[in-house]
Structure 1
Amino acid sequence: MNRTTRTAVAALLILAATAALLFLMGRPPICTCGKIGLWVAQANSSRTSQMLSDWYSLSHVVHGFLFFAILWLAFRKWPLERRFLVALAIEAAWEVVENTPMVINRYREETAALGYTGDSVINSMSDIAMMVLGFSLARRLSVRWSIAIVLALELIPLFVIRDNLTLNVWMLLAPNDAIKAWQSGGSASALFSAFAH
């Protein structure tokens, strides 16, 4: 069995184990509405994190770019396949942790995801696929293009849904009332004045 085949088998095992664990944790396989949709355009919809993709899928593409960069910087002597499997395992582990009651409640209390109830299994698998997409793009693109894409994937949702990976992590780790108010529809001037004082 060559390295590529071993990597593919290991990746499939990680995905299968993640899906099985999420199911055993009580996550629904698909949206409880009984439908499978390609895209949910509303960030605060009850179907966000239930379908194949939504605005938060973009943050998982960013994960892929970041994992590629960090693993390349820290372990550049490792073969690409090993770095890929580490990135895949980290993303899979995050999907499991993200769907624990503690993290779900944290999202509901401190971030813009006020009605968040966790992901469906199909959404989690799609999020992992988005990370793989980002990792693959980072491998093929120049540093300049990678940075440009990451900035676009952060700025577009920031303006459209008032959220992105940066704010998501910030609000999980160090909640800020001014940011939360702005994400809930407050004015940008109130946000800036809150930081000025």
Structure 2
Amino acid sequence: MSQRTTLIAAAGIVAATALVLHLMGRVPICECGEIRLWYGDAGGPGNSQHLSDWYTFSHVIHGFIFYGALWFLRGRLSLGTRLLLAIGIESAWEIVENTDFIIDRYREQTVSLDYHGDSILNSVSDILFMVAGFFLARRLPVAATVAIAVALEIWVGFMIRDNLTLNVLMLLWPLEAVREWQAGG
């Protein structure tokens, strides 16, 4: 598959994801009317509404994970095909993450009581940050990629008492002790 074909297919997947999110009733941008490069208040109303936030680092790590998981298919699938698979998986997650079921689950099982889902801009940005992580993992040595992922998890966990690991844990197997710690207790 040529780079141009891969780019067109990737853009098509992202555009289709944005359309599905629109049809689901997601807001295009933050209802505040602003588009910020960074929104740093993990519990604030603009979280998951702008181009990047504390959860952006999780999407970079998604890219690391997808590159690593799909690396084993390198003899059978081109880099472009593996990238498209990663974009498809991330796009599917962005759609699922913004369903009422998952939004309600976040509210019930985590400290994200005011979570209302992502804006379309944030979801598209999350996909693009996953792509950045995918290509970083392609360029960096495995040990560096793992070290960056671990460092990001520790740093984000320290800064906001949440990260990819805790997010998955609390969605799948909520622990009251973790919820209390995340709430600052």
Larger Rg: 1
Letter in 2 for 1:162: R
Query: 2:69 matched to which residue of 1?
Result: 70
* Structure 1, 104-113 or 22-31: larger mean CA deviation: 104-113
Q: What letter matches 1:31 in structure 2?
A: C
Unaligned runs of 5+ in 1: 187-197
What's the TM-score, normalizing by structure 1? 0.92
- The equivalences for 1:17-166 within 5 A come to 17-73=16-72, 75-77=73-75, 78-166=77-165
Letter in 1 for 2:74: R
Residue of structure 2 in register with 1:8 after alignment: 7
Which letter maps to 2:8?
V
Runs of 4+ in 1 over 4 A off after TM superposition: none
CA offsets 1:65-110 (integer angstroms, 9 cap, x no match): 000001113x121111111000000000000000000000001111
Mark the runs of 5 or more structure 2 residues left unpaired by the alignment.
none
Contact 1:40 1:47 in 2 (8 A): yes
CA shift digits 1:131-181 (9 cap, x unpaired)? 001001000000111011101111101101000000000000000000000
Q: Counterpart of 1:193? A: none
Distance in 1 of aligned mates of 2:4 and 2:36: 32
8 Å contact from structure 1 (residues 28, 120) kept in 2: yes
Alignment TM-score, normalising by the size of structure 2: 0.97
Residues 163 and 183, structure 1, Cα contact 8 Å, conserved in 2: yes
Distance (Å, rounded) in 1 between the aligned partners of 2:80 and 2:88: 12
C-alpha RMSD of matched pairs (Å): 0.8
Residue 133 of structure 2 aligns with an amino acid whose one-letter code is G
Aligned residues: 184
